[in-house]
């Protein structure tokens, strides 16, 4: 739980805007559950730090093992949604590895039905507005800090 205001408590989920570079362009990993496109994320486990949750959830939901944090623990949160939920996203580089959609032990099936690596514009079209702002943030950070460093 996290507090935004003194009396309000929110359920916090943590995950990442996962990307890799195709040439000099980032592509973003989106996961689909039913009709909903999202970034990999999940709830904190007892005693777990948010960054640990984000990396664990990404690995569990995608099978990706090599994950890097080019901005360290810098994150962006969604506005509250649903029934007092907030999602915190870190920028996560997955430079290699094949995505798999492993079966969730709790569900007995994969949590997601499909994944796609998409360029910014295509990813933005699939995401709901609350996640478009997260993608906008990530894309700006990659262009400002990651790609600029490659061109220097």
What CATH number is given to the structural domain containing 115? 3.90.79.10
Among 72, 93, 58, 78, CA closest to 134: 78
Give residue 33's pLDDT: 92
pLDDT confidence of residue 3: 52
- Show the domain range for 143: 2-151
Q: Model pTM?
A: 0.90
14: its two tokens: 């943590």
What is the domain count for the chain?
A: 1
Strands 8-22 and 85-93: parallel
Other residues' Cβ atoms within 10 Å of the Cβ of residue 76: 17
Helices (H) and strands (E) in the chain, counts: 4, 10
Distance CA 90, CA 51 (A): 8
Low-confidence residues of the chain: pLDDT under 50: 5-7, 151-152
Cα 44 to Cα 136: distance, rounded to the nearest angstrom: 25
Q: Can you give the pLDDT at residue 24?
A: 87
- pLDDT, one tens digit per residue, over 38-61 is 999 999 999 999 999 999 999 999
Estimate to the nearest angstrom the gap between the alpha carbon of 106 and the chain centroid: 21
Are the C-beta atoms of residues 92 and 16 closer than 8 Å to each other? yes
């Amino acid at each position: 739980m996290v507090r935004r205001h003194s009396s309000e408590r929110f359920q916090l989920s943590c995950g990442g805007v996962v990307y890799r570079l195709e040439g000099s362009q980032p592509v973003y990993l989106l996961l689909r559950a039913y009709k909903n496109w999202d970034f990999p994320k999940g709830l904190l486990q007892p005693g777990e730090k948010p960054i640990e949750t984000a990396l664990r959830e990404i690995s569990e939901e995608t099978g990706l093992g090599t994950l890097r944090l080019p901005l360290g623990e810098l994150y962006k949160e969604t506005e509250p949604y649903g029934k007092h939920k907030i999602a915190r996203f870190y920028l996560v580089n997955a430079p290699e590895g094949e995505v798999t959609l492993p079966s969730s032990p709790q569900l007995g099936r994969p949590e997601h039905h499909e994944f796609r690596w998409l360029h910014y514009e295509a990813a933005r079209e699939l995401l709901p507005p609350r996640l478009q702002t997260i993608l906008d943030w990530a894309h700006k950070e990659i262009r400002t800090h990651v790609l600029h460093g490659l061109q220097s």
